[in-house]
């Protein structure tokens, strides 16, 4: 069994240190109040037993909490008091150098908490270490100087989570929809160099990847682009190739028929489209941004965005090639085709591609094949989204369909009715048309819903009072995020604010107008709806006895956001937080505060957003139907998933799920498995085993446990991650049941 020290390093659990600590406090107490040696050992062994069944690698702080509990349980309150005082004094001494210690363990790749913080960042790489080191300094500054004490205390206690505090010291925002159309059609500037409108599709793709890298280095969340913005350049290349073919024919004196010319042109055009798509696929995977990872990029494939039939046909050509190449995968260092984490792909299901007699149904079949092997694309239902996302003046069924920012964060509909009067000064502004590309999210603060329930003790009146107190706290924290961005000059990130990605402001101009009126959003995240409802009602939220209560919780958060929005003209929105690392943090904090409550705090994770618990037996269609009601109440971001076995030989079933998504839920995905062992060449499912209280990834063929010598791909939070997950998330992955 192991323990995580305060600096994040992991060491072997040593019971003698607990005995020594209790003995030290015991010696300070009056003789008549002291424990016997037998009692000291009894208390220490009880703590050891509790750590062994905790379900995760415990921290020093957790162990000390357990020691206090044991001393009090033995009625030795004087010793317990002295132990608490000693602990406080030592903590004060440590406070000055905690950040230094964490940075040193980062450099030596010995910080287990950081190692497991982001499954797509390898902490042994110096660029990742540099980002984490800067992050530790930023966190320290943020918590000591920039945030109110009550927000910091609530964050540290796991009552709320103030996301991305490692970037808060800088004036950076979360995620966005890149206005790639404006940048390609009207030019942009990258690193002081003017980039004009490209003259071919392949050049447009190359510029797009440069833009993606630049944007990723200026914000900390996900970004999304649309293939529709690249589609016009297919015809640019077609015309260029046609001129070239005619010139070649003339140079050799050959007179080709128009049909022959067309065949040659389309063949060369397809080759160029393939090269362009490969540029996007490979450069995104191989680019390393300033935060030490590949850009978190989502690519939208939506035929309905095309402005004419020719553009739609060209867009279909790009989508076809994107799906073909993604199905193939990328080669790892051993030359084996594997599943890459990025770019994340989203395929919009629409009337033009959803039925067998739809003109682009062949693309849907390709998408199904790709999903079965590589876990992408994910699926947005145009039908459902246009019912829910209504800009000013629109009615249900005729609303808007657009991509999320990154994995699940959605912009609110355009409430201006006029594209926000082009407050961003975009050069592709269309008056009266709802605007989405160029908008962004200011940041996220997440509420721990199980903590609200447990704090109420199951009393409903008390629950709603505490809930409102916690929401007020979240509101104050969100205001901190908003106010940190106020006054940010456009010069802070020229690619974003001056050169078209989000705006074309003048040098020195502040971004403040983009923070109000709904142009950008700010997110109230939530986690653990299942555990909260289960504790308060005794039932899963899928049970009819509890569903209404679960929906009332969601509605209450929406109502509070509406209040804040009306008062401040800021688009607060409910967001189903991915909580990759926070799921573990919240679970540990709940155990510290309330102990092990069966069915509520007895795991190393809590449930993402509104999702059905991963262990609950439920079929795919029932799950998607049930969760659709919660997506409606999570307008700032939500995604549902179904866990499925290997479906490569049953693509008809995959298509059936896709068609069900189209008719019933706005945004969903299918989770398959895609692993490879670099030691023995095993191509199958890498398993999770428990060793001395710690969960490890292990090849079932050769027993390899070296994370650097395997490729594991799992869907964790709306996007694909690799094997560098924390213990809580690994436990959650292990516990998942199949839905199909």
Catalytic one among 580, 627, 698, 732? 580
d(CA 19, CA 712): 41
Active site (annotated) includes residue 10: no
Identify the sign of the CA torsion 402, 659, 632, 720: negative
d(CA 145, CA 395): 47
Exposed/middle/buried for residue 214 (C-beta within 10 Å: 0-12, 13-18, 19+): buried
Helix (H) or strand (E) holding 628: helix 620-632
Residue 689 φ then ψ, to 5°: -125, 160
C-beta of residue 146 within 8 angstroms of C-beta of residue 169 = yes
Q: Which of 291, 290, 299, 301 is nearest to 340 (CA)?
A: 299
Catalytic one among 409, 448, 520, 628? 409
> Is residue 19 classed as helix, strand or coil in its secondary structure?
helix
> Is residue 51 classed as helix, strand or coil in its secondary structure?
helix
Helix axes 258-286, 201-216, angle to 10 degrees: 20
Helix (H) or strand (E) holding 141: helix 126-141
Structure tokens at 635: 């307008």
Active site (annotated) includes residue 143: no
**Dmax (CA) of the chain:** 112
All residues at 6 or more sequence positions from 724 whose CB lies less than 8 Å from its CB, including other chains: 115, 116, 118, 119, 120, 121, 122, 123, 707
Catalytic one among 51, 143, 175, 647? 175
d(CA 182, CA 593): 51
Catalytic one among 26, 174, 353, 634? 174
> Is residue 226 classed as helix, strand or coil in its secondary structure?
strand
**How many other CB atoms are there within 10 angstroms of residue 433's CB atom?**
12
Active site (annotated) includes residue 175: yes
Catalytic one among 220, 575, 584, 719? 575
Catalytic one among 718, 719, 726, 728? 718
Q: Where are the alpha helices (DSSP H) in 610-695?
A: 620-632, 651-664
Active site (annotated) includes residue 405: yes
Catalytic one among 172, 205, 322, 407? 407
Active site (annotated) includes residue 407: yes
| Cα–Cα distances in angstroms (integers) from residue 338 to residues 118, 277, 321, 372, 676, in the given order | 20, 18, 18, 13, 7
C-beta of residue 523 within 8 angstroms of C-beta of residue 575 = yes
Helix axes 309-328, 258-286, angle to 10 degrees: 50
Active site (annotated) includes residue 580: yes
All residues at 6 or more sequence positions from 336 whose CB lies less than 8 Å from its CB, including other chains: 676, 678, 681, 683, 711
| Cα–Cα distances in angstroms (integers) from residue 198 to residues 183, 211, 223, 236, 530, in the given order | 10, 13, 22, 9, 50
In this structure, the strands spanning 344-349 and 297-301 are parallel
d(CA 267, CA 508): 49
Catalytic one among 7, 165, 353, 441? 441
Active site (annotated) includes residue 710: no
First to last CA, the chain: 36
Q: 598-616 burial, b for 16+ CB within 10 Å, e for fewer? A: eebbebbbbbbbbbbbbee
d(CA 720, CA 670): 11
Cis peptide before 74 (omega within 30 of 0): no
C-beta of residue 732 within 8 angstroms of C-beta of residue 605 = yes
C-beta of residue 183 within 8 angstroms of C-beta of residue 211 = yes
d(CA 62, CA 601): 14
Helix (H) or strand (E) holding 671: strand 667-671
| Cα–Cα distances in angstroms (integers) from residue 531 to residues 302, 528, 549, 595, 608, in the given order | 36, 5, 13, 14, 10
Catalytic one among 133, 405, 532, 658? 405
- Dump the DSSP string for 541-554: TTSHHHHHHHHHHH
Structure tokens at 126: 């110096």
Catalytic positions are 174-175, 405, 407, 409, 441, 575, 580, 718
């Amino acid at each position: 069994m192991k323990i995580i020290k305060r600096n994040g390093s992991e060491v072997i659990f040593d019971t003698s240190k607990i005995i020594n600590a209790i003995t030290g406090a015991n010696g300070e107490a009056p003789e008549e109040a002291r424990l016997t040696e037998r009692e000291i050992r009894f208390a220490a062994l009880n703590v050891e037993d509790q750590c062994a069944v905790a379900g995760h690698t415990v921290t020093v702080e957790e162990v000390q909490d357990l020691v206090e509990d044991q001393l009090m349980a033995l009625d030795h309150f004087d010793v317990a008091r002295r132990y608490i005082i000693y602990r406080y004094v030592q903590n004060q001494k440590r406070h000055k150098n905690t950040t230094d210690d964490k940075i040193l363990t980062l450099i030596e790749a010995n910080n287990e908490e950081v190692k497991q913080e982001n499954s797509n960042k390898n902490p042994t790489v110096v660029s990742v270490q540099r980002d984490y080191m800067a992050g530790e300094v930023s966190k320290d500054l943020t918590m000591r100087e920039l945030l109110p004490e009550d927000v910091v205390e609530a964050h540290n206690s796991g009552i709320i989570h103030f996301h991305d505090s490692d970037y808060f010291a800088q004036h950076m925002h979360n995620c966005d929809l890149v206005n790639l159309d404006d940048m390609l059609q009207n030019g942009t500037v990258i690193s002081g160099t003017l980039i004009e409108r490209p003259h071919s599709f392949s050049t447009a793709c190359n510029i797009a990847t440069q833009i993606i890298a630049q944007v990723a280095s200026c914000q900390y969340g996900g970004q999304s682009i649309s293939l529709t913005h690249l589609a016009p350049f297919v015809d640019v290349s077609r015309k260029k190739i046609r001129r070239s073919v005619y010139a070649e024919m003339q140079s050799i004196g050959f007179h080709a028929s128009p049909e022959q010319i067309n065949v040659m042109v389309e063949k060369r055009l397809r080759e160029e489209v393939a090269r362009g798509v490969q540029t996007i696929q490979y450069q995104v995977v191989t680019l390393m941004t300033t935060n030490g990872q590949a850009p978190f990029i989502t690519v939208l494939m939506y035929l309905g965005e095309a402005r004419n039939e020719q553009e739609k046909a060209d867009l279909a050509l790009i989508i076809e090639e994107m799906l073909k190449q993604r199905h193939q995968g990328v080669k790892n260092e051993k030359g084996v085709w594997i599943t890459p984490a990025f770019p994340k792909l989203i395929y919009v299901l629409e009337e033009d591609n959803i039925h067998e007699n739809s003109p682009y149904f062949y693309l849907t079949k390709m998408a199904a094949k790709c999903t079965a092997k590589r876990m992408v694309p994910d699926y947005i239902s145009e039908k459902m989204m246009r019912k829910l996302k209504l800009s000013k003046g629109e009615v249900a069924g005729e609303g808007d369909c657009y991509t999320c920012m990154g994995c699940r964060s959605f912009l609110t509909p355009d409430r201006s009715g006029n594209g926000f009067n082009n407050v961003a000064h975009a050069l592709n502004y269309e008056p009266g048309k709802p605007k989405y590309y160029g908008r962004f999210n200011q940041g996220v603060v997440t509420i721990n819903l199980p903590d609200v329930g447990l704090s109420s003790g199951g009393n409903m009146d008390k629950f709603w009072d505490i809930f409102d107190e916690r929401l007020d706290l979240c509101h104050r924290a969100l205001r901190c995020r908003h106010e940190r961005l106020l006054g940010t000059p456009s010069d802070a990130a020229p690619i974003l604010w001056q050169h078209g990605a989000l705006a074309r402001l003048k040098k020195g101009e502040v971004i403040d107008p983009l923070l109000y009126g709904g142009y950008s959003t700010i997110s109230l995240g939530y986690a653990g709806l299942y555990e909260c409802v289960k504790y308060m009602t005794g039932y899963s939220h899928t049970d009819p006895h509890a569903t209404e209560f679960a929906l009332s919780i969601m509605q209450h958060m929406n109502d509070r956001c509406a209040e804040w929005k009306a008062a401040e003209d800021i688009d607060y929105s409910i967001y189903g937080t991915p909580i990759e690392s926070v799921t573990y943090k919240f679970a540990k904090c709940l155990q510290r505060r309330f102990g092990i409550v069966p069915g509520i705090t007895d795991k190393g994770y809590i449930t993402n957003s509104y999702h059905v618990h991963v262990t609950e037996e439920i079929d795919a269609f029932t799950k998607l139907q049930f969760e659709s009601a919660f997506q409606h109440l999570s307008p700032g971001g939500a995604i549902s998933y179904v866990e499925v076995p290997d479906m490569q030989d049953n693509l008809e079933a995959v298509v059936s799920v896709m068609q069900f998504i189209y008719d019933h839920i706005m945004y969903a995905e299918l989770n398959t498995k895609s692993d490879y062992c670099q030691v023995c060449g095993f191509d199958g499912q890498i398993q999770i085993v428990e060793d001395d209280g710690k969960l490890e990834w292990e090849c079932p063929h050769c027993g390899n446990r070296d994370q650097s010598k395997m490729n594991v791909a799992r869907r964790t939070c709306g996007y694909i991650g690799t094997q560098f997950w924390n213990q809580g998330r690994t436990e959650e992955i292990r516990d998942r049941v199949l839905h199909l």
